[in-house]
Amino acid sequence: MADTEQVRGVLRKLMHPEIKSSLVDLGMIQSADLQDEEVTVTLALPFKEVPIRDQLVGSVRGELQRAYPGRKAVVKLVEMSQQERAAFMAASEGGPRPAQSGNRIDRVLAVLSGKGGVGKSSVAALLAVALRRRGWTVGVLDADITGPSIPKMFGLRQLPPPEPEGMLPAVTGGGIKVMSINLLLQDEQQAVIWRGPLISGAIKQFWGEVLWGRLDYLVVDLPPGTSDASLTVMQSIPLSGVVLVSSPQDLAGMVVAKAARMARQMRAPMLGLIENMSYLRCPRCNERIEVFGASHAAAEARQLGVALLGQLPLDPELARHCDSGQVEAYPAELFQEIADTIEAGVPAMRSRPTP
């Protein structure tokens, strides 16, 4: 540790050629080792193949040779983890915003599906409700900017008046904090016709300019697919884990595999797969009816290399609760076991980088 701090002091004035910030402040100098004949530095890159990789390596090696003449300068390269990359992105944009500096968010869970129509948002809402019932402080960030549905499920219409430090989230009857683009619109049916940069900017605002306060869990409802919105979340928000949502159809399984591959490429930690709408219970005989065909959940989870967190039924009662804004009143006994597994798989450390 002493070697690392000494070398960081030497390299502190070394600036990133594009961002114009110190490599040390950007978290790129991970470790160092000083020996009699050699000085070794581990340089962390946000992605393996950044265009200026050789330039960065050359500048670090040159600075080491000037500071430690006579010693061989060795620069080892590693790729940042998803959380390290999120901290790097925040630092490259000027550090935490005023609202963010007052937030304390311990764990961030992203709910992701490959395609729409598999009940991803209802799973995100049920996860938030289940965690809240266990006594945790919980928030939901609706990152599905063009198709937001979280406010309607919780019966929310608008945000509280903003504070000087930033926006306040809406709060449900059960105490869950919610931020969604629909809470900023005069008409909840108004279309949000935005291109990628505007969508990405809104998500960053919801993360950095909302007064979330102290949260044990923040659940992020991602849009389906692998578009700009999902990429922005995985680049800008330090995730504690990703929950994949699919349904029994082969098409849904094929597309969720794309989403899983994206999450892995971004080095986001994968918590497991939930198969939604797996079956229907006959209200008369309680027979299990596989409406969308036989389940492939176990095989799909094995193929993706993740845990199968559980299978949820197609329940008209859940649809009624969501449509009436009463998702918090839905019993969701089946989801409690899934929430227990997710909670056990999430690290206890704070996911948000320290300002």
Cβ contacts of 87 within 8 Å, gap of 6 or more: 27, 238, 353
CB 98 within 8 Å of CB 167: no
The domain covering 94-345 belongs, at the CATH homologous superfamily level, to P-loop containing nucleotide triphosphate hydrolases (3.40.50.300)
CB 57 within 8 Å of CB 43: yes
Residue-level pLDDT at 289: 85
pLDDT tens digits, residue range 278-300?
888 888 888 888 877 788 888 88
**Per DSSP, which regions of 247-325 are E strands?**
270-275, 280-281, 288-289, 308-311
Task: Give the position of tokens 């108004």.
Answer: 190
- Averaged pLDDT of the chain: 88
Q: How far apart are CA 92 and CA 197, in angstroms?
A: 17
Q: For residue 160, report the phi and psi dihedrals to the nearest 5 degrees.
A: -70, 165
Tens digit of pLDDT per residue, the chain (355 long)?
778 899 899 999 999 988 888 999 999 999 999 998 999 999 999 888 788 999 999 999 999 999 999 899 999 999 998 888 888 888 887 655 556 667 899 999 999 987 778 889 999 999 999 999 999 999 999 999 988 999 999 999 988 888 888 899 999 999 999 999 999 987 778 878 788 788 888 998 899 889 999 999 999 999 887 777 888 898 889 999 999 999 887 666 677 888 889 888 888 899 999 999 888 888 888 888 887 778 888 888 998 899 999 999 999 999 999 999 999 999 988 888 999 999 988 865 454 433 3
Token pair of 56 as six digits? 């960065």
> Strand, coil or helix: what is 28?
coil
**Per DSSP, which regions of the chain are E strands?**
29-34, 38-45, 72-79, 104-113, 138-142, 170-171, 177-179, 214-221, 241-246, 270-275, 280-281, 288-289, 308-311
Cβ contacts of 50 within 8 Å, gap of 6 or more: 56
Q: What angle (nearest 5°) sits at the alpha carbon of residue 229, between those of residues 119 and 261?
A: 75
Q: For the chain, how far is it from start to end, CA to CA, in angstroms?
A: 21
CB 31 within 8 Å of CB 46: no
Q: How far apart are CA 175 and CA 163, in angstroms?
A: 19
Q: Out of 3.40.190.10, 2.70.150.10, 1.10.8.870, 3.30.300.130, select the CATH number for domain 2-80.
A: 3.30.300.130
Counting every residue, how long is the chain? 355
**How many angstroms separate the Cα of 214 from the Cα of each of 55, 171, 269?**
41, 14, 23
CB 151 within 8 Å of CB 178: yes
Reading phi first (left if > 0) and then psi (alpha if -120 to 50, else beta), residue 27 is in left
Task: Give the position of tokens 């680049």.
Answer: 235
- Would you give the distance in Å from CA 141 to the centre of its chain? 10
Q: What angle (nearest 5°) sits at the alpha carbon of residue 354, between those of residues 351 and 355?
A: 135
pTM for the model: 0.82
Sorted by where each begins, the domain ranges of the chain are: 2-80, 94-345
Give the count of beta carbons closer than 10 Å to the beta carbon of residue 129: 26
Token pair of 233 as six digits? 């979340």
